[in-house]
Structure 1
Protein backbone atom coordinates (compact mmCIF):
# COMPACT_ATOMS: atom_id res chain seq x y z
CA UNK A 1 0.00 0.00 0.00
CA UNK A 2 2.84 2.34 0.85
CA UNK A 3 4.47 1.74 -2.53
CA UNK A 4 1.15 2.36 -4.26
CA UNK A 5 0.72 5.76 -2.56
CA UNK A 6 4.28 6.72 -3.52
CA UNK A 7 3.67 5.68 -7.11
CA UNK A 8 0.45 7.70 -7.25
CA UNK A 9 2.21 10.74 -5.78
CA UNK A 10 5.01 10.53 -8.33
CA UNK A 11 2.49 10.13 -11.11
CA UNK A 12 0.62 13.21 -9.92
CA UNK A 13 3.83 15.27 -9.78
CA UNK A 14 4.76 14.12 -13.28
CA UNK A 15 1.29 15.00 -14.57
CA UNK A 16 1.44 18.46 -13.03
CA UNK A 17 4.89 19.05 -14.48
CA UNK A 18 3.75 17.92 -17.91
CA UNK A 19 0.65 20.09 -17.71
CA UNK A 20 2.78 23.10 -16.84
CA UNK A 21 5.18 22.39 -19.68
CA UNK A 22 2.38 21.92 -22.19
CA UNK A 23 0.50 24.98 -20.89
CA UNK A 24 -2.54 22.90 -19.89
CA UNK A 25 -2.75 24.99 -16.74
CA UNK A 26 -1.01 27.97 -15.21
CA UNK A 27 -0.68 29.09 -11.61
CA UNK A 28 -2.17 32.62 -11.32
CA UNK A 29 0.62 35.20 -11.11
CA UNK A 30 -0.58 36.49 -7.75
CA UNK A 31 0.00 33.00 -6.31
CA UNK A 32 3.15 32.33 -8.33
CA UNK A 33 6.33 33.10 -6.35
CA UNK A 34 8.28 33.47 -9.59
CA UNK A 35 5.98 36.12 -11.08
CA UNK A 36 7.04 39.78 -10.76
CA UNK A 37 5.70 42.14 -8.13
CA UNK A 38 2.59 44.01 -9.27
CA UNK A 39 2.01 46.99 -7.00
CA UNK A 40 -1.72 47.27 -7.73
CA UNK A 41 -2.48 43.67 -6.74
CA UNK A 42 -4.06 43.16 -3.33
CA UNK A 43 -1.32 41.95 -0.95
CA UNK A 44 -1.24 38.27 -0.07
CA UNK A 45 1.16 35.83 1.56
CA UNK A 46 3.66 36.19 -1.31
CA UNK A 47 3.74 39.98 -1.55
CA UNK A 48 6.51 40.50 1.00
CA UNK A 49 8.65 37.86 -0.72
CA UNK A 50 8.12 39.43 -4.16
CA UNK A 51 8.87 42.91 -2.85
CA UNK A 52 12.08 41.81 -1.12
CA UNK A 53 13.23 39.93 -4.22
CA UNK A 54 12.57 42.94 -6.46
CA UNK A 55 14.41 45.21 -4.03
CA UNK A 56 17.48 42.93 -4.15
CA UNK A 57 17.49 42.59 -7.93
CA UNK A 58 18.18 45.83 -9.88
CA UNK A 59 16.60 44.53 -13.09
CA UNK A 60 13.41 43.36 -11.36
CA UNK A 61 13.24 46.57 -9.37
CA UNK A 62 13.54 48.74 -12.47
CA UNK A 63 10.88 46.63 -14.23
CA UNK A 64 8.42 47.18 -11.37
CA UNK A 65 9.15 50.92 -11.15
CA UNK A 66 8.67 51.40 -14.89
CA UNK A 67 5.26 49.75 -14.60
CA UNK A 68 4.08 52.34 -12.05
CA UNK A 69 1.57 54.93 -13.31
CA UNK A 70 3.81 57.65 -11.88
CA UNK A 71 6.01 60.37 -13.30
CA UNK A 72 9.41 58.83 -12.63
CA UNK A 73 12.67 58.83 -14.52
CA UNK A 74 16.04 57.19 -13.87
CA UNK A 75 18.75 59.41 -12.42
CA UNK A 76 22.42 59.03 -13.43
CA UNK A 77 24.54 57.36 -10.77
CA UNK A 78 26.23 59.91 -8.54
CA UNK A 79 28.96 60.13 -5.93
CA UNK A 80 29.27 63.39 -4.01
CA UNK A 81 31.54 62.46 -1.13
CA UNK A 82 32.80 59.71 1.12
CA UNK A 83 29.84 57.39 1.69
CA UNK A 84 27.55 59.69 -0.28
CA UNK A 85 25.86 59.05 -3.60
CA UNK A 86 23.48 56.60 -5.19
CA UNK A 87 23.15 53.95 -7.87
CA UNK A 88 20.04 53.20 -9.94
CA UNK A 89 17.96 55.90 -8.28
CA UNK A 90 14.80 57.45 -9.71
CA UNK A 91 13.48 60.98 -9.72
CA UNK A 92 9.88 60.92 -8.49
CA UNK A 93 7.67 63.79 -9.68
CA UNK A 94 4.21 62.38 -8.89
CA UNK A 95 2.71 59.29 -7.29
CA UNK A 96 0.16 58.88 -10.05
CA UNK A 97 -2.73 61.19 -9.11
CA UNK A 98 -0.98 62.13 -5.87
CA UNK A 99 1.40 65.08 -6.03
CA UNK A 100 4.64 65.43 -4.10
CA UNK A 101 5.51 69.10 -4.56
CA UNK A 102 9.22 69.24 -5.36
CA UNK A 103 10.49 66.12 -7.13
CA UNK A 104 13.01 63.99 -5.26
CA UNK A 105 15.57 61.29 -6.01
CA UNK A 106 15.09 57.94 -4.30
CA UNK A 107 16.74 54.54 -4.57
CA UNK A 108 14.85 51.91 -6.53
CA UNK A 109 14.06 49.74 -3.46
CA UNK A 110 12.72 52.80 -1.65
CA UNK A 111 10.55 53.77 -4.63
CA UNK A 112 8.95 50.33 -4.52
CA UNK A 113 8.34 50.60 -0.78
CA UNK A 114 6.83 54.05 -1.32
CA UNK A 115 4.56 52.67 -4.04
CA UNK A 116 3.28 49.88 -1.80
CA UNK A 117 2.71 52.35 1.05
CA UNK A 118 0.84 54.81 -1.14
CA UNK A 119 -1.30 52.14 -2.81
CA UNK A 120 -2.06 49.84 0.12
CA UNK A 121 -2.00 52.16 3.14
CA UNK A 122 -2.53 55.83 2.29
CA UNK A 123 -5.27 55.46 -0.32
CA UNK A 124 -7.55 53.32 1.86
CA UNK A 125 -6.81 55.23 5.06
CA UNK A 126 -7.60 58.62 3.50
CA UNK A 127 -10.90 57.33 2.17
CA UNK A 128 -11.77 55.72 5.50
CA UNK A 129 -11.04 58.72 7.71
CA UNK A 130 -11.94 61.62 5.43
CA UNK A 131 -14.17 60.14 2.73
CA UNK A 132 -12.02 61.66 0.00
CA UNK A 133 -8.84 60.92 -1.95
CA UNK A 134 -5.35 61.88 -0.97
CA UNK A 135 -4.16 64.80 -3.11
CA UNK A 136 -0.55 65.39 -2.04
CA UNK A 137 2.24 63.97 0.10
CA UNK A 138 4.36 66.70 1.70
CA UNK A 139 8.04 66.05 2.32
CA UNK A 140 11.31 67.79 3.17
CA UNK A 141 13.56 65.81 0.88
CA UNK A 142 15.31 62.55 0.35
CA UNK A 143 18.94 62.65 -0.81
CA UNK A 144 21.39 64.62 1.32
CA UNK A 145 25.07 63.92 1.92
CA UNK A 146 25.04 64.04 5.71
CA UNK A 147 25.60 62.04 8.86
CA UNK A 148 22.95 60.85 11.28
CA UNK A 149 21.41 63.90 12.95
CA UNK A 150 24.07 66.00 11.22
CA UNK A 151 26.60 65.05 13.88
CA UNK A 152 30.28 65.14 13.09
CA UNK A 153 31.83 61.68 13.31
CA UNK A 154 28.48 59.85 13.20
CA UNK A 155 27.63 57.20 10.62
CA UNK A 156 26.14 58.29 7.33
CA UNK A 157 22.39 58.70 7.23
CA UNK A 158 20.34 56.65 4.77
CA UNK A 159 19.61 60.01 3.18
CA UNK A 160 23.24 60.02 2.01
CA UNK A 161 22.46 57.12 -0.33
CA UNK A 162 18.96 58.27 -1.38
CA UNK A 163 17.39 55.44 0.59
CA UNK A 164 15.28 57.65 2.87
CA UNK A 165 12.42 60.13 2.57
CA UNK A 166 11.10 62.48 5.28
CA UNK A 167 7.32 63.02 5.08
CA UNK A 168 5.87 65.97 7.00
CA UNK A 169 2.20 65.80 6.09
CA UNK A 170 -0.61 65.15 3.66
CA UNK A 171 -3.26 67.14 1.81
CA UNK A 172 -6.67 65.74 0.86
CA UNK A 173 -8.56 66.70 -2.29
CA UNK A 174 -10.76 69.18 -0.40
CA UNK A 175 -7.67 70.99 0.86
CA UNK A 176 -7.78 69.41 4.33
CA UNK A 177 -4.23 69.29 5.70
CA UNK A 178 -2.76 66.65 7.98
CA UNK A 179 0.45 67.66 9.73
CA UNK A 180 2.78 65.26 11.53
CA UNK A 181 3.89 68.02 13.87
CA UNK A 182 0.42 69.42 14.51
CA UNK A 183 -1.84 66.35 14.46
CA UNK A 184 0.25 63.47 15.76
CA UNK A 185 -1.12 61.90 18.94
CA UNK A 186 -4.44 63.72 19.15
CA UNK A 187 -7.83 62.04 19.03
CA UNK A 188 -8.92 63.50 15.71
CA UNK A 189 -9.34 61.78 12.37
CA UNK A 190 -6.07 63.41 11.35
CA UNK A 191 -4.30 61.79 14.28
CA UNK A 192 -5.77 58.38 13.48
CA UNK A 193 -4.77 58.74 9.84
CA UNK A 194 -1.17 59.56 10.83
CA UNK A 195 -0.98 56.54 13.11
CA UNK A 196 -2.20 54.28 10.30
CA UNK A 197 0.25 55.92 7.89
CA UNK A 198 3.11 55.24 10.31
CA UNK A 199 2.12 51.66 11.09
CA UNK A 200 1.40 50.90 7.43
CA UNK A 201 4.82 52.21 6.41
CA UNK A 202 6.40 49.68 8.77
CA UNK A 203 5.02 46.92 6.57
CA UNK A 204 6.79 48.15 3.45
CA UNK A 205 9.89 50.07 4.56
CA UNK A 206 12.79 48.59 6.50
CA UNK A 207 12.98 51.52 8.90
CA UNK A 208 10.27 53.92 10.07
CA UNK A 209 10.80 56.62 12.71
CA UNK A 210 8.14 59.03 13.92
CA UNK A 211 7.41 61.52 16.69
CA UNK A 212 7.28 58.80 19.35
CA UNK A 213 10.91 57.93 18.64
CA UNK A 214 12.60 61.19 19.66
CA UNK A 215 12.36 64.97 19.43
CA UNK A 216 14.33 65.05 16.18
CA UNK A 217 11.40 63.30 14.45
CA UNK A 218 8.60 65.32 16.07
CA UNK A 219 7.62 66.88 12.73
CA UNK A 220 8.06 64.07 10.20
CA UNK A 221 7.98 60.37 9.40
CA UNK A 222 11.41 59.07 8.40
CA UNK A 223 11.04 56.21 5.90
CA UNK A 224 14.02 54.18 4.71
CA UNK A 225 15.15 50.94 3.13
CA UNK A 226 18.42 49.10 3.37
CA UNK A 227 18.92 49.00 7.13
CA UNK A 228 17.71 46.98 10.08
CA UNK A 229 13.99 46.45 10.60
CA UNK A 230 12.87 49.32 12.81
CA UNK A 231 9.36 50.59 13.58
CA UNK A 232 9.40 53.34 16.21
Structure 2
Protein backbone atom coordinates (compact mmCIF):
# COMPACT_ATOMS: atom_id res chain seq x y z
CA UNK A 1 0.00 0.00 0.00
CA UNK A 2 2.82 2.41 0.78
CA UNK A 3 4.36 1.87 -2.66
CA UNK A 4 0.93 2.38 -4.26
CA UNK A 5 0.40 5.65 -2.40
CA UNK A 6 3.82 6.89 -3.52
CA UNK A 7 2.93 5.96 -7.09
CA UNK A 8 -0.40 7.82 -7.00
CA UNK A 9 1.19 10.91 -5.48
CA UNK A 10 3.87 10.89 -8.13
CA UNK A 11 1.40 10.45 -10.99
CA UNK A 12 -0.76 13.28 -9.66
CA UNK A 13 2.22 15.62 -9.43
CA UNK A 14 3.74 14.90 -12.83
CA UNK A 15 0.90 13.82 -15.11
CA UNK A 16 -0.05 10.47 -16.64
CA UNK A 17 1.77 11.04 -19.93
CA UNK A 18 5.06 11.87 -18.22
CA UNK A 19 4.63 8.84 -15.98
CA UNK A 20 4.09 6.48 -18.89
CA UNK A 21 7.08 7.88 -20.75
CA UNK A 22 9.30 7.44 -17.71
CA UNK A 23 8.01 3.91 -17.17
CA UNK A 24 8.82 2.99 -20.76
CA UNK A 25 12.24 4.63 -20.69
CA UNK A 26 13.27 3.10 -17.38
CA UNK A 27 11.89 -0.29 -18.37
CA UNK A 28 13.91 -0.31 -21.56
CA UNK A 29 17.04 0.66 -19.66
CA UNK A 30 16.45 -1.94 -16.94
CA UNK A 31 16.96 0.65 -14.20
CA UNK A 32 14.31 0.33 -11.49
CA UNK A 33 16.24 2.88 -9.40
CA UNK A 34 15.08 5.55 -11.85
CA UNK A 35 11.48 5.07 -10.74
CA UNK A 36 10.12 6.83 -7.65
CA UNK A 37 8.09 3.91 -6.27
CA UNK A 38 10.56 1.03 -6.49
CA UNK A 39 12.24 -0.17 -3.28
CA UNK A 40 15.65 1.23 -2.45
CA UNK A 41 18.60 -1.13 -2.86
CA UNK A 42 21.95 0.13 -1.58
CA UNK A 43 23.78 -2.29 -3.88
CA UNK A 44 22.33 -0.70 -7.02
CA UNK A 45 23.88 2.35 -8.74
CA UNK A 46 22.24 5.65 -7.87
CA UNK A 47 19.19 6.56 -9.92
CA UNK A 48 17.12 9.69 -10.37
CA UNK A 49 15.20 9.14 -7.13
CA UNK A 50 17.87 7.49 -4.97
CA UNK A 51 18.66 10.62 -2.97
CA UNK A 52 14.98 11.21 -2.19
CA UNK A 53 14.50 7.59 -1.16
CA UNK A 54 17.53 7.75 1.10
CA UNK A 55 16.29 10.93 2.78
CA UNK A 56 12.81 9.42 3.19
CA UNK A 57 14.32 6.63 5.29
CA UNK A 58 14.15 9.16 8.11
CA UNK A 59 10.48 8.20 8.38
CA UNK A 60 11.27 4.52 8.94
CA UNK A 61 14.32 3.76 11.10
CA UNK A 62 13.58 0.02 11.05
CA UNK A 63 13.60 -0.11 7.25
CA UNK A 64 16.79 1.96 7.12
CA UNK A 65 18.65 -0.35 9.48
CA UNK A 66 17.40 -3.38 7.55
CA UNK A 67 18.90 -1.90 4.37
CA UNK A 68 22.25 -1.44 6.11
CA UNK A 69 22.24 -5.07 7.28
CA UNK A 70 21.24 -6.32 3.84
CA UNK A 71 24.17 -4.43 2.34
CA UNK A 72 26.61 -6.01 4.82
CA UNK A 73 27.21 -2.81 6.78
CA UNK A 74 28.01 -3.39 10.44
CA UNK A 75 26.83 -0.78 12.92
CA UNK A 76 25.81 -0.07 16.48
CA UNK A 77 22.42 1.52 17.11
CA UNK A 78 22.69 4.50 19.44
CA UNK A 79 20.14 5.25 22.17
CA UNK A 80 17.68 8.04 21.52
CA UNK A 81 18.74 11.50 22.60
CA UNK A 82 16.65 14.60 23.29
CA UNK A 83 18.30 17.90 24.27
CA UNK A 84 15.40 20.22 23.41
CA UNK A 85 12.25 20.31 21.31
CA UNK A 86 14.39 20.90 18.22
CA UNK A 87 17.51 18.90 19.06
CA UNK A 88 17.99 15.17 19.32
CA UNK A 89 17.62 11.93 17.41
CA UNK A 90 15.94 8.54 17.52
CA UNK A 91 17.56 6.66 14.63
CA UNK A 92 21.30 7.35 14.93
CA UNK A 93 23.89 4.65 14.32
CA UNK A 94 27.65 4.33 14.59
CA UNK A 95 29.60 2.33 12.03
CA UNK A 96 31.34 -0.76 13.39
CA UNK A 97 34.60 -2.15 12.06
CA UNK A 98 34.52 -4.77 9.33
CA UNK A 99 31.65 -5.46 7.01
CA UNK A 100 31.13 -3.92 3.60
CA UNK A 101 32.48 -0.46 4.45
CA UNK A 102 36.23 -0.09 4.13
CA UNK A 103 36.73 3.61 4.91
CA UNK A 104 37.41 4.41 8.55
CA UNK A 105 35.91 7.59 9.99
CA UNK A 106 38.17 9.95 11.92
CA UNK A 107 37.14 10.42 14.69
CA UNK A 108 35.60 6.95 14.71
CA UNK A 109 33.10 7.65 17.50
CA UNK A 110 30.77 9.76 15.36
CA UNK A 111 27.12 8.82 15.29
CA UNK A 112 24.72 9.93 12.57
CA UNK A 113 21.12 9.46 11.49
CA UNK A 114 20.61 6.21 9.62
CA UNK A 115 19.77 7.86 6.24
CA UNK A 116 23.09 9.75 6.37
CA UNK A 117 24.94 6.51 7.09
CA UNK A 118 23.23 4.73 4.19
CA UNK A 119 24.11 7.54 1.77
CA UNK A 120 27.67 7.72 3.10
CA UNK A 121 28.15 4.01 2.40
CA UNK A 122 26.85 4.35 -1.15
CA UNK A 123 29.03 7.43 -1.65
CA UNK A 124 32.11 5.42 -0.70
CA UNK A 125 31.30 2.55 -3.04
CA UNK A 126 30.02 4.46 -6.05
CA UNK A 127 31.86 7.76 -5.93
CA UNK A 128 34.80 8.13 -3.55
CA UNK A 129 36.78 4.97 -4.32
CA UNK A 130 36.41 5.13 -8.12
CA UNK A 131 37.32 8.84 -8.11
CA UNK A 132 40.37 8.21 -5.92
CA UNK A 133 41.64 5.49 -8.26
CA UNK A 134 40.99 7.61 -11.33
CA UNK A 135 42.62 10.83 -10.11
CA UNK A 136 45.10 9.67 -7.48
CA UNK A 137 45.84 6.01 -8.20
CA UNK A 138 45.21 5.03 -4.59
CA UNK A 139 42.38 3.79 -2.39
CA UNK A 140 40.88 5.98 0.28
CA UNK A 141 41.30 4.38 3.69
CA UNK A 142 39.85 7.04 6.00
CA UNK A 143 37.51 10.01 5.93
CA UNK A 144 38.18 13.01 8.18
CA UNK A 145 35.12 14.87 9.42
CA UNK A 146 34.00 17.68 11.72
CA UNK A 147 31.13 15.69 13.20
CA UNK A 148 27.43 15.12 12.74
CA UNK A 149 25.16 15.91 15.71
CA UNK A 150 25.28 19.51 16.93
CA UNK A 151 22.35 21.28 18.56
CA UNK A 152 22.48 24.54 16.62
CA UNK A 153 20.78 26.63 14.00
CA UNK A 154 22.05 27.14 10.45
CA UNK A 155 25.30 29.14 10.43
CA UNK A 156 25.17 29.29 14.24
CA UNK A 157 22.69 32.16 14.25
CA UNK A 158 20.26 32.76 17.07
CA UNK A 159 17.08 33.10 15.03
CA UNK A 160 17.52 31.12 11.80
CA UNK A 161 16.20 27.72 10.75
CA UNK A 162 17.50 24.78 12.76
CA UNK A 163 20.38 22.96 11.12
CA UNK A 164 20.14 19.33 10.00
CA UNK A 165 23.01 18.80 12.42
CA UNK A 166 20.51 19.36 15.22
CA UNK A 167 19.00 15.95 14.45
CA UNK A 168 22.21 14.20 13.31
CA UNK A 169 20.93 14.32 9.73
CA UNK A 170 24.18 15.84 8.43
CA UNK A 171 27.91 15.25 8.43
CA UNK A 172 30.73 17.66 7.56
CA UNK A 173 33.52 15.98 5.57
CA UNK A 174 36.89 17.71 5.98
CA UNK A 175 39.17 15.44 3.96
CA UNK A 176 40.42 12.00 2.98
CA UNK A 177 43.40 9.77 3.75
CA UNK A 178 44.88 7.53 1.06
CA UNK A 179 46.46 4.09 1.39
CA UNK A 180 49.96 5.56 0.99
CA UNK A 181 49.43 8.04 3.84
CA UNK A 182 48.63 11.05 1.65
CA UNK A 183 46.06 13.39 3.19
CA UNK A 184 43.70 15.51 1.12
CA UNK A 185 41.80 18.34 2.77
CA UNK A 186 39.03 20.52 1.45
CA UNK A 187 40.62 23.60 3.03
CA UNK A 188 43.98 23.14 1.31
CA UNK A 189 43.23 21.24 -1.91
CA UNK A 190 39.89 22.50 -3.21
CA UNK A 191 41.34 25.29 -5.33
CA UNK A 192 43.42 24.69 -8.43
CA UNK A 193 43.37 22.29 -11.36
CA UNK A 194 45.50 19.44 -10.02
CA UNK A 195 44.50 15.85 -9.30
CA UNK A 196 43.52 16.52 -5.69
CA UNK A 197 41.18 19.36 -6.63
CA UNK A 198 39.67 17.27 -9.43
CA UNK A 199 39.09 14.42 -6.97
CA UNK A 200 37.38 16.70 -4.44
CA UNK A 201 35.10 18.21 -7.07
CA UNK A 202 34.14 14.80 -8.41
CA UNK A 203 33.23 13.47 -4.98
CA UNK A 204 31.21 16.66 -4.35
CA UNK A 205 29.30 16.17 -7.61
CA UNK A 206 28.72 12.51 -6.79
CA UNK A 207 27.39 13.38 -3.35
CA UNK A 208 24.72 15.51 -5.01
CA UNK A 209 23.16 12.29 -6.37
CA UNK A 210 22.93 10.70 -2.93
CA UNK A 211 22.32 13.46 -0.39
CA UNK A 212 19.44 15.91 -0.12
CA UNK A 213 21.91 18.77 0.39
CA UNK A 214 25.55 19.02 -0.66
CA UNK A 215 27.41 22.26 0.08
CA UNK A 216 31.07 22.93 -0.73
CA UNK A 217 33.50 25.88 -0.79
CA UNK A 218 31.72 26.96 -3.99
CA UNK A 219 28.68 27.81 -1.86
CA UNK A 220 30.09 30.28 0.68
CA UNK A 221 32.99 31.01 3.01
CA UNK A 222 31.38 29.06 5.85
CA UNK A 223 32.04 25.88 3.85
CA UNK A 224 35.60 26.71 2.83
CA UNK A 225 37.03 23.77 4.77
CA UNK A 226 34.42 21.03 4.42
CA UNK A 227 31.66 19.40 2.41
CA UNK A 228 28.32 19.62 4.18
CA UNK A 229 26.23 16.53 3.39
CA UNK A 230 22.73 16.20 4.80
CA UNK A 231 19.52 14.25 4.41
CA UNK A 232 16.82 16.85 4.88
CA UNK A 233 13.67 14.87 4.29
CA UNK A 234 11.90 16.74 1.49
CA UNK A 235 10.27 13.59 0.14
CA UNK A 236 11.17 11.38 -2.83
CA UNK A 237 10.02 13.95 -5.38
CA UNK A 238 11.32 17.10 -3.71
CA UNK A 239 14.23 19.30 -4.78
CA UNK A 240 17.85 18.75 -3.82
CA UNK A 241 20.43 21.43 -3.07
CA UNK A 242 23.85 21.04 -4.70
CA UNK A 243 26.53 23.69 -4.75
- How many angstroms apart in 1 are the aligned matches of 2:189 and 2:31? 42
Rg comparison, structure with higher value: 1
Larger deviation, residues 127-136 vs 88-97: 88-97
Distance 1:151 1:37, change over 3 A: same
Structure 1 unaligned spans of 5+: 1-26
Cα deviation code 1:159-218 (max 9, x no counterpart): 000000000000110111111010102111100000001100000000011101111100
Match of 1:231 in 2: 242
Instruction: Report the 3-state secondary structure (helix = DSSP H, G, I; strand = E; otherwise coil) of the residue aligned with 1:204.
Output: coil
Superposition map of 1:174-213 within 5 A: 174-213=180-219
TM-score by length of 2: 0.75
Match of 1:74 in 2: 77
Match of 1:122 in 2: 128
Q: State whether residues 50 and 209 of structure 2, in contact with CA within 8 Å, keep that contact through their aligned partners in structure 1.
A: no
Q: State whether residues 98 and 137 of structure 1, in contact with CA within 8 Å, keep that contact through their aligned partners in structure 2.
A: yes
Structure 2 unaligned spans of 5+: 1-29, 235-239
Query: What displacement does 1:149 show?
Result: 1.3
TM-score by length of 1: 0.78
Match of 1:65 in 2: 68
Match of 1:12 in 2: none
Match of 1:219 in 2: 225
Structure with greater contact order relative to length (CA < 8 Å, sep ≥ 6)? 2
Larger deviation, residues 73-82 vs 42-51: 42-51
Superposition map of 1:1-232 within 5 A: 36-43=39-46, 47=50, 51=54, 54=57, 56-93=59-96, 96-102=101-107, 103-227=109-233, 229-232=240-243
Query: What displacement does 1:100 show?
Result: 0.5
- How many angstroms apart in 2 are the aligned matches of 1:218 and 1:86? 27
Larger deviation, residues 68-77 vs 143-152: 68-77
Cα deviation code 1:107-155 (max 9, x no counterpart): 1111111111111100110111112211111001000111111111222
Q: CA RMSD in A?
A: 2.6
Which structure shows the bigger proportion of residues in strand conformation?
1
Cα deviation code 1:59-97 (max 9, x no counterpart): 321101223444411111110123000111111345722
